[in-house]
Chain A
Amino acid sequence: MFTRGELQFSVKYPFSSATKGLAKWINFDFSSVEPRLLDRAKQRAIEGIETGRTTVETNTSSERIMIAEILSYPLAKIIVGKTRDKFLISRYARAEARAFQKFLLHESPANLGALARDFGFSISDAVIPFTDYLKYLPREEEYKLVNAPLKDGQVQVDNESIAHLLPEKLRDQIEKDLYQPMDVPTVFDTYAAEVAKETNRDKAFKITEEFGKVEAGIFPPCIKLLIQEAESGQPMAHQPRFVLATFLVNVGMPVEQVTELFRNTPNFNEKKTRYYIEYSLGKRGSGTKYSPPSCEKMVFYGLCRNKDALCERVKHPLKYYSKKKEVKPNA
């Protein structure tokens, strides 16, 4: 028996241990799922992939609606998994994680603690071992270990950082689950085909800033991150500087503008930076024109970060840019 309050909790957190008995309670049968439930699940999947976040109806007291909302989670997972499409799977996992995060940020400490336990986090005295922290490090740059309070092997966590760690674990779990073979009725294949066909993939790429003729919005994620880092004024090592400078000059950004970009870094030296950039253009030194490193080397340097679906299909950051330039979404 589920109370209304418990159902409301499960609408937000359909993966929590509190939801476990629901399917049995309502005698749910996977072999004959009502179309209205499957339609809702499909909608959940497409919404997540296109907008980057799923939403659920939390403002209802109807048991019937709440149950449909809860079930849309496992059903959407199966549908997306059945597409066998890496891009869709990773986008969907991310969307569920973001929805989870949004709820967590407003959650009571008691519920937060309970959910953390569900995810196998032993949070004692508001610290967790750094090895656990690294395993589910939120992808946001601000949660990098270097910015975290670390001492004696423990990272201090607060409700906010827990609210970021748990969704990463959920995302990880969803991705893992969706690559497992699934033994489900064929109707799910039909729905999966529909999701694959009806999803507007271009919507998933957001195109925003522009750098003159150079379209920063379609830079590969690794380069976007380096730009953010340069602009935010944090120290940059030689390798990332070189990568960023060579990439930008190779896509045609003027030396002036590239130099400007490095101005905020604490060890900025205008003369050196300019020399550097001209060097990579082949105007100085040996005259060799340099390209940024290949994706493989970027991985080696640890600079391949925030990989997205297109990254899987290219071997070079410049290729990513030129590919995106070819197919300009919404153009």
Chain B
Amino acid sequence: MEKIEFIRDTLRKYYDSHTVPAPPSIERREFGAGNDKKIDWRHMSFPAEQQLNAYLRSETPLYISYSAGYYEFPEGRPMPKKNWLGADLVFDLDADEYEVDCSHSKDLVCDKCMNRVKEECIKLIEEFLIPDFGFAHDDLHVVFSGNRGYHIHIRREDVHGLSQNARKEILDFITASGLKPARHIRRRGKHLLGPRPDDWGWPGRITRAIVDEIGTGNEKSIARRMGMSTSTAKKILAKKGLVLGGIGQGDWDQVNLDPKTWRRAFGLLAIEMNAEVDKGVTMDVSRLMRLPNSIHGGTGFIACEVPSLDKFVYYNDPVVLGDGDVRCIARATMDVVLKDKVFELEEEKQLALPEYAAFYCAAKGLVSIWG
């Protein structure tokens, strides 16, 4: 059997027996779908859940996406005719954005890179979106992308009207781009003033890190994290109590340092503590995102909402396809883990795989379908 036939048959079977819930305000959303690419065609709209599911059953695209944006006329084209009404705030975190030394090809994933993207996602939520931006856990819909990343959809009404520029500001905040150390550590007359640990936003965050590092670090770690010489670090440590006491009051002058030294530390710690996200996606107010609860045609995984990132296991939890045997021929030699089972592929050897594993491996080109 041809791979594409098997994939489409399997998807159709799934959509025939399941209902994909409509995203909120479905009638205002633009949809896009694709087989070869993630999006081969777009500018579609569905009035309600029923029509969306009818489409999935009859056309069965490998990928289906919906707009973060809300439009008066979601089918209108070109874009200005749609009349943009607003957009959810979305973040896209994908494993291939991060520098991780994985040995596998770009198509595949491993614990290393999937853990990295998960950590980054948790950092974004727990260190920025909740404490700084004041979102509640309930505002954040974390969705597995169906392949190797996570999307966060924020649908709260007060973010709908944010312009592209405003979204850029949010991103710049999260990535610490444009942070001006010289604005926060400055000379006032004879005194060098700076933030206090309980200040809001980045200045406070970095100050807490500096206080923590001086309080618990040694010359070497201070020199490394704050980008100063060990002799400077020594100077600070020699007056540790005074320096920490001073910073607690916003007085950065207890040790005689060039303000540039502190500013440099500021910049370095900002880079260390920022979160990395795909900038294009968040800023683009017309972006199409994978439809939650649809099946990713490149893996067979469901793009499911993730209630707890900590507990989410990317090779178990999104497996929803059936487990009837499918006869395959391996095209590579490797172990594939799905649903806590190890499938040992040996090139050119026949084997029977449960449907979900056959789908995953066929889509990734690791097996051909035999039966």
Contact indicator A148/B279 (Cβ below 8 Å): no
Contact indicator B181/A149 (Cβ below 8 Å): no
| Contact-size category for B | 35 or more
Q: Please, which residue of chain A has its CB at the minimum distance from the CB of B276? A: A237
Q: Does B321 contact A (CB under 8 A)?
A: no
Q: Does B55 contact A (CB under 8 A)?
A: no
Complexed CA–CA distance, A265 and B227 (Å): 12
The listed residue (A135, A240, A300) touching B166 by CB distance below 8 A is: A135
Contact indicator B169/A147 (Cβ below 8 Å): no
Residue interface mask B155-176, A partner, CB < 8 A = 1: 0001101111110111111011
Contact indicator B178/A229 (Cβ below 8 Å): yes
Contact indicator A130/B133 (Cβ below 8 Å): yes
Complexed CA–CA distance, A240 and B178 (Å): 11
The listed residue (A131, A144, A239, A300) touching B172 by CB distance below 8 A is: A144
Task: Give the most central of A147, A233, A236: most B CB within 10 Å.
Answer: A147
Q: Does A293 contact B (CB under 8 A)?
A: no
Chain A at the B interface: SS class: mixed
Contact indicator A235/B131 (Cβ below 8 Å): no
Residue interface mask B72-95, A partner, CB < 8 A = 1: 000000000000000000000000
Task: Give the most central of A137, A237, A265, A301: most B CB within 10 Å.
Answer: A237
Complexed CA–CA distance, A194 and B166 (Å): 37
Chain B at the A interface: SS class: helix
Of A51-59, A97-105, A151-159, the one with at least 4 CB within 8 A of chain B: A151-159
Q: Does B177 contact A (CB under 8 A)?
A: yes
Q: Does B200 contact A (CB under 8 A)?
A: yes
Q: Does A234 contact B (CB under 8 A)?
A: yes
Complexed CA–CA distance, A141 and B177 (Å): 11
Q: Please, which residue of chain B has its CB at the minimum distance from the CB of A301? A: B279
Q: Does A17 contact B (CB under 8 A)?
A: no
Q: Restricting to B174-230, which residues have a CB under 8 Å from any CB of A?
A: 175-184, 199-204, 227
List the B side residues contacting A152 at CB < 8 Å.
Answer: 131-132, 134
Contact indicator B169/A149 (Cβ below 8 Å): no
Q: Restricting to A120-149, which residues have a CB under 8 Å from any CB of B?
A: 129-131, 134-135, 137, 141-142, 144-149
Extra 19 A-B pairs, beta carbons < 8 Å, given A135-B162, A147-B202, A233-B267: A134-B162, A135-B163, A137-B166, A145-B172, A146-B176, A149-B199, A151-B200, A152-B132, A229-B178, A232-B182, A234-B177, A234-B178, A234-B181, A235-B179, A235-B270, A265-B267, A266-B264, A267-B268, A302-B171
Chain A residues with a Cβ under 8 A of chain B: 129-131, 134-135, 137, 141-142, 144-154, 156, 229, 232-237, 239-240, 265-267, 299-302
